[in-house]
Structures are given as structure tokens and as C-alpha cells.
Structure 1
Amino acid sequence: MKALWQEIRRNPLLWLLVFVPAVLLAEHAFHAKGQLLFILSVLAIVPLAALLSHATESVAASTGDTVGGLLNATLGNLTELMIALTALSAGQYLLVKGSIAGAIVTNSLFMLGGSLLLGGLRHHAQEFNAATARLQAAQLFLATIALLVPSLVPATAGEPEAFVHDLSLSLAVLLIVTYALGLLFSLKTHKAFFGSARHADAAAEEGHGAPWPIGLAIGVLAGVTVLVALVSHIFVASVEVAAQSMGMSDAFVGFVIVALVGAAAEIASAFSGARKNRLDLSVGIALGSATQIALLVAPLLVLASYFVGPAPMTLQFWPSAVAMMLLATLTVAMVCNGGRSAWFLGVLVLAVYLTFAIALYLLPPKA
């Protein structure tokens, strides 16, 4: 705990942690609403993201960048899963699907593109393990196909709704099995292929403090993830009112704003790793998070809908959402194929993401 307290005292950004109890009190004790909760929740998520970033780097220093990226993606995606389960129990399936599609596009384009840009501005050229990126891009492509098929395959004439539900349930099981086998492949049977392209003590290079002990780092990761989930619930509840006053559409809020705030912790970790020339960690977080949402979180929500939802949820997405996920996957596959990066590649990836964001802001699709 001494190391944690020293980090809070040393880093002025972590002083914003006072907004965590502030937003919880404002929501539960004073029943504040609208823009006030929106502002407080954003101010609370920022220091939590910074704290999670440091803890993730400490875990990666002990376990390696591949496992560290997987752990960060897993804990970061718990926030999206908790929010989606809440919406699922309320029957807000459009919100659930929008958050899934938005998270996949945000993680694979904004998080990856920002990492390549920030890392490239500080280092002339960077390297990462292309095998890891290609595997995750292939898994993302499979997931996109699974999300596209329910909308393309013609329904049976007898019971079209039952057909779509049966197809979605079967695809959900297939995606979960594929994700599990992917972990077995990358972490067990072919582990040597997926090591970091560069091993270095980033903390020592950049003049930062030593990594935390592994026990403290994991404890902070778990605790901060819970706090991020609590604050994210408040954010989602207040963002609609704030968005209306700021002139933002529901599609833009769900696909862009909620996805960015929900992934704030992972974004901070990915950007920090890239700046410290640990691009394997950044790529692992960005693509690992997108892959985990597509292959694990989305199928789990389909299965959970049979128990907590008012009706089973399908994997049918509106056409523009599927198109954006497919184009994001193809962009990732092309950019990460070589295993080398410079700042302009980050600009190209971010340009694709901004194209989607501008389109949603100006002409939101009809669900």
C-alpha cells in the first residue's frame, strides 16, 4: 500500500481521485442528475484510468506484455459487460448491440491508431509481434462474419424468428469455443510465437518508479475495475440528458461517447505503453479487447439473455454497424501485417475511425 500511496502523491493526475467519492455521493446522497453527473463521472474515470494503467504495466513487467495485455483487456471489458447486462435485464437490446459494435470499432481503431501515433511521435520506428496482431485480426474477422450471417441468411418460411434465435445461439457457442481455443493456441501450445518483439525495462528507461509488487498490482486492477464499473453506470445514466443539451445524437452517444468512456482505462494503458516503446502491450490491449468483446462478451450476452432478459437476444445487427466492424477489421489486418509502425500509420487508422464518427454525428443510421 505504501507504493500505491507514493504513486498518488507523486502523480498530480491521481489527485482527481477525489471525484470518485464525489460522483457517488452526488448520485446516491444528493440525487443529482444530468450534466453535473456527466462532468463528475468523466473527471472520476480519468484518474481511475491512469491508476489502472500503472497497475497494468506492473503486471506486464512480471508476466510479459502478451499476458499483461490480455489481463488488462479482460478487466477493462468487465465494465462493458456490467453495463450491457444492466441494459439487457431492462430489455434495451438496441443499446446492448450498439455498445458492442461501438466497443469493437473504438478499441480496434481509436485505441490502436492513437497508440501508433503517440508511440511514433516519440520513437522514429517501432516494432511489435505481427503474429499476435494477425491472429487477433483473424479472430475479429471471424466474429464479424458471425455477426453478418444472421442478417444475410434468408429465414425459413415457417418460423423466421425462431430460426434467427437458434442461429444466434449456435453462433454464440461457436464464438466462445473459438475464443477459448485461441487462448490455448497463443498462451500454451504456440506460446513462443507470441512473445514481445522488444523486451525492456520501460520504467527505468523513462525515469518512472519501479513496478509495483504483483500482488498489489493485481489488487489495484481488480479494485479500480469495480470503481470504473460503478462510475460508468452513473455516466451512462447521465449521458443522454447531457448529450441532448450538447446536440449529439443517440447513435453518436452510444457508438462513440459511451464506447470511449467505457474503454478509458484500457486507452490510457495502451497509450502509455506505446509512449514507452512497448508497442506489443498496446497492440495486445487494443486488439485483445476488441477480440474479447466480439468473441466472448457478445456471445455471453446472447446466452445471458435467456436468463436475465425479457426475451432472447439475437446477433442481428443493423447493416451500417456490421459494415463498420468489417471495415475496422480489414484496416487492422492491413496496418498490423508487417510488425513495424511509424506515426503516420496511426494517422491513417484514426482517419478511418473519425470517418465513422463524423458520419454518425451528422447522419446517424436508422436501427
Structure 2
Amino acid sequence: MDSSALDPSSLTRPTVNIKTRDLLRRETTKFPSQPNGDGNGNGTGNGNGNGSSAAQYSSLDAMDPEQRPLLERHVPTNLHPDPGFWRHLLIHTQSTPGTNSPNPFVRWPARVWNVTKVTLFSSWINLLLVFVPLGIFAGRHEWSAPWVFSLNFFAIIPLAAVLSFATEEIASRLGETLGGLVNATFGNAVELIVSIVALRAGEIEVVQASMLGSILSNLLLVLGMCFLLGGIYNMRDNDGNGTEQSFSQGTAQTTGSLMALASASMILPAALYGVLDQADEDNKQASILVLSRGTAIVLLSLYVLYLYFALRTHKKLFEPETQSISASTIGGDEEEHEPLLGPWSAGLVLVVTTLVISVCADHMVESIDALVATGKISKTFIGLILIPIVGNAAEHVTACVVAIKGKMDLAMGVAIGSSIQIALLVTPALVMLGWAIGQPMTLHFETFETVAFALSVLVTTYTVQDGKSNYLEGAMLLGLYMIIALAFWASPTDALGGK
């Protein structure tokens, strides 16, 4: 017999192969307490079995290349079993068969389906997308106003979530500064789309109420829920003592000052309208239009300056140390999100979703007059309470989740940051758009709406100025929101129509 047949190096190859398979089986079945060795493991168990799993896999990389193909075929069957063609095609969210095909007639449909699949599985709230075709069908076939309004109302909620998902996918690839600008632009896109449709239809009262309702919803409802849930879930420390959640005091003071400015921009037109009692109605409206349009230009300029202040020169004030620490300790799921869509795919989702939202919003706005004619609900309540729920549903959930995790700076950014966007960007932009299309959109809100907004800003500023929050403060903000909603619900349908 040839002596090379008994060479020890020729005997080690099958022994290592069998042992490696045993190690992989133990790792797959997750029995860490199972002993690593029997008779064969005593010689090599100290190097492989007693080490970490990382050491085990590093030993695989160092093996003879002739063995690695066999091992690599063996590993995926245990750790990542083949999902099957139909499961891979319909459910698998990481890839789709045919996306890398050289045939363009296979590759492009597969990529489009992959983008659709990733978007549909981005949130559980997308189950409500079934209302989209129902709402459009009801609007096209002129169903009764309550049905058209309700179906399109529920259809816009998941569309808003999809729009938020596409915006985050784009912003995560553009860097901090440009990504923040994209979020600022598309953060309230749903409210903007619905308001543009209503403004073109001449529903100025609905537009004003929806803008005010979005601000109140973020200041009182969202921020109140964040304080309440965050305070309950983080009520006590390890010693059993009551604790408060903290956030950047500088950010709270800056945003509070901007909201006070927005409140003044609403109070001044109402005060001027009250002073001009002796003038006729046409002259009063002309004066209010001049004041509103000039104020809108000032507010838009201040918003651009605020973005430059927050994203460029003083961004450290808006990135407190507590936020970075919590992101690293908790895991930073929101901050370390890995984009699932490319920029072109996310942009396509953004455009398609915007078009569908505009169609649903058009049907919903057209049904408002017939719905109000029933005498069961007012335009002000629709714009103040219902429409903000449509546009802010996804942001509400996000803010509450991060507040429960103790990331109050992120929750504050979602709640108060969105209010600033509405007050200093969206509302003035609608005034300028109304000027361009011939609609008399002004900053002169009804007196009761102005008082409710001013009181909400005052209470919120007092609540956040110390940089701390607890569940009692959250309950206070929620209580004020319920009182305001109840006041508008109890008011007669035509009581708030006049200025």
C-alpha cells in the first residue's frame, strides 16, 4: 500500500467536515448548553466548541477551498431554507425572482413588483388600502355623501402612511441636511394636497379649519399622547421613585417662540377686522387680504431662516446629547434604518401615491357640502378634527412609539416640528396659492378658532418650557384637546360660518 494513503493530512479532511456539520446543526437547533465533544471532539473541541459562534464561522473561512462549496450548500438549507417560488414571489420582502434577469421584459416587471411588495409590507396600516378602490368607485358612481366621505376618509389614511414611508426612504439617502429639507417639504403633504383641492373648490372655511386642526392635533393630541404614554411606561426608576422624561430645553424654547409668532399672525388679522367696524365689507376684505398676503411672505421667509438655523448654523441645538446616547443604547432602530428602496423607486412611489391621494381628496371634498347639508356635522368640525386625523395618523403612531422608548427629543420633533411646518410653511403657502388662482384665502380665522389656537399655544409653551414631561402634563394637553373638540362638535352647523 502506498504510504501517502496513510498520510495524517489526508485523514483530517473528512473528520473536520463531519465535525463542522455537527457544529452547524447545534447552532441551527439552538442548543447552546449541549456538550460540544464526544470522542472525536476532544482533540479540537477547545478551539471550536468552547469558543464563540464567531470563532466557529471564522474557522470555516480558513478551511480548504475544496470543502467550502459543500459547506456553503449545506448552511443555507438549515439557516435560511428555500421559501419556494410562490412564497418568494408574493411574500418575501428582500428580493423577487427575476430582478437580475438579463431579459428586460422579465427584469423590469419584477423590479416594479418588488417595489410594490416592499411598499405594501412597510406598515400594518396598509391593510386599509382596500378602501382606496372602494372610495374612488363610490365617488365616480355618485354614492350618497356619507359613504363617499367615509370611504375616501379611510382610504387616505394608509396612503398617508405610504407617503411617509417613501419620504423616509428618500431622506435617508440624501444626508442629514438635504434629508431634513425633504422631510420638511413632504412631512405634511397630505394636508397640503387636501387643502389645495378644497381651495380650488372654494371651500376656504374647510381649508382654514384643517390648517388650524393640524396644528392643534400635533400640539395637543400627539404631544399629549407622547407625554402620557411615555410617562406611564417610564414612570419610575430602578429605585421605585417617580421620574420625568427629559428633552432639549433649547429646542422647546425655540419652537415655542415660533408657535407664539404663528399665533400672533392669526390674532392680528382678527383684531384688524374687529377694528374696521365703520368700513364697508369690501374695504374690510381688501385690508385683510393685503395684511394676510404680506404676513404670509414674512412667515415663509422666517421658515426658510428657521431651516437654515436648525440644519446648518445651530444644528447642535437640535441634536442633544441625550438623543445620541439613547440611539446608541437602545439600538437606534429609527435612526439606523437601512433604506429598502432606491431613490428612483422611492420617488416613483411618492409620485404615484400623491396622484392617488389627490383623486381620493377630490371625491372627499366634493361630498362635504352634501354631508353638511344633512345638519349632523359642520364644516368647521370636519376641517378641525377629521381631516387632521387623516393626514397625521402615521406620524401620531411614530411619535407615540418613540416616546415609549424614551426618545422624547424625536417625539418633540415629530409633534411640534410638524406644527411649525403647518403654521409657517403650509398655511402661508396656501394664502399665496389662493392669491395666484383668485381665491380670497386669508389669515383671518373665525374668532373662536383664533382664541382656541392662542390658548393651545400658551398651554403647550408653559408645559414644555422646563424641558421635562410626565403623564400628568400629557393628560392636561389631551384634556384641552377634548374640550376644544367638544366645543366645535356642540356648536350649531351654521354658527361659526361668519367671521
Same fold flag (TM > 0.5): yes
> 357, 360, 363: which is aligned to 2:485?
357
For the pair 1:168 / 2:292, whether they are aligned, the reply is yes
Q: Secondary structure at the match of 2:147?
A: helix
Partner in structure 2 of residue 332 of structure 1: 460
TM-score by length of 2: 0.63
CA positional deviation for 1:155: 3.9
Over the matched positions of the two proteins, sequence identity in percent amounts to 33
> 357, 368, 380: which is aligned to 1:251?
380
For the pair 1:288 / 2:399, whether they are aligned, the reply is no
> 71, 86, 89: which is aligned to 2:197?
86
Taking a change above 3 Å as real, the CA distance of residues 270 and 233 of structure 1, as seen in their structure-2 partners, is farther
Counterpart of 2:430, as a letter, is: L
Note the 1:295-334 alignment, pairs <5 A. Answer: 295-310=424-439, 312-334=440-462
Q: Secondary structure at the match of 1:263?
A: helix
Partner in structure 2 of residue 96 of structure 1: 207
For the pair 1:183 / 2:307, whether they are aligned, the reply is yes
> 223, 226, 234: which is aligned to 2:363?
234
TM-score by length of 1: 0.83
For the pair 1:121 / 2:232, whether they are aligned, the reply is yes
8 A Cα contact 1:175 1:299, kept in partner: yes
Unaligned runs of 5+ in 2: 1-110, 236-243
CA positional deviation for 1:61: 6.7
Per-residue CA deviation, residues 249-277 of structure 1 (Å, 9 max, x unaligned), is 33322211122223333323323333443
CA distance in 2, matches of 1:187, 1:47: 30
> 140, 157, 165: which is aligned to 2:259?
140
Taking a change above 3 Å as real, the CA distance of residues 248 and 156 of structure 1, as seen in their structure-2 partners, is closer
Counterpart of 1:324, as a letter, is: A
Q: Secondary structure at the match of 2:188?
A: helix
8 A Cα contact 1:102 1:255, kept in partner: yes
Unaligned runs of 5+ in 1: none
Q: Secondary structure at the match of 1:317?
A: coil
Taking a change above 3 Å as real, the CA distance of residues 339 and 266 of structure 1, as seen in their structure-2 partners, is same
> 397, 400, 415: which is aligned to 1:268?
397
8 A Cα contact 1:53 1:272, kept in partner: no
Taking a change above 3 Å as real, the CA distance of residues 69 and 361 of structure 1, as seen in their structure-2 partners, is farther
Taking a change above 3 Å as real, the CA distance of residues 285 and 294 of structure 1, as seen in their structure-2 partners, is same
CA distance in 2, matches of 1:218, 1:325: 36
CA distance in 2, matches of 1:92, 1:33: 20
CA positional deviation for 1:228: 3.8
8 A Cα contact 1:89 1:309, kept in partner: no
For the pair 1:17 / 2:133, whether they are aligned, the reply is no
Partner in structure 2 of residue 150 of structure 1: 269
CA radius of gyration, larger in:
2
CA distance in 2, matches of 1:119, 1:65: 27
Per-residue CA deviation, residues 70-117 of structure 1 (Å, 9 max, x unaligned), is 754532422222222233233332222222222221222112212222
CA positional deviation for 1:19: 2.6
Q: Larger helix proportion, structure 1 or 2?
A: 1
Counterpart of 1:167, as a letter, is: L
Partner in structure 2 of residue 110 of structure 1: 221
CA distance in 2, matches of 1:253, 1:260: 10
- Of 293-302 and 220-229, deviating more is 220-229
Paired residues in the alignment total 365
The structure with higher relative contact order (CA 8 Å, sep 6+) is 1
Taking a change above 3 Å as real, the CA distance of residues 343 and 32 of structure 1, as seen in their structure-2 partners, is same
Taking a change above 3 Å as real, the CA distance of residues 194 and 122 of structure 1, as seen in their structure-2 partners, is same
Taking a change above 3 Å as real, the CA distance of residues 73 and 10 of structure 1, as seen in their structure-2 partners, is closer
CA distance in 2, matches of 1:234, 1:227: 11
Partner in structure 2 of residue 212 of structure 1: 339
CA distance in 1, matches of 2:379, 2:465: 35
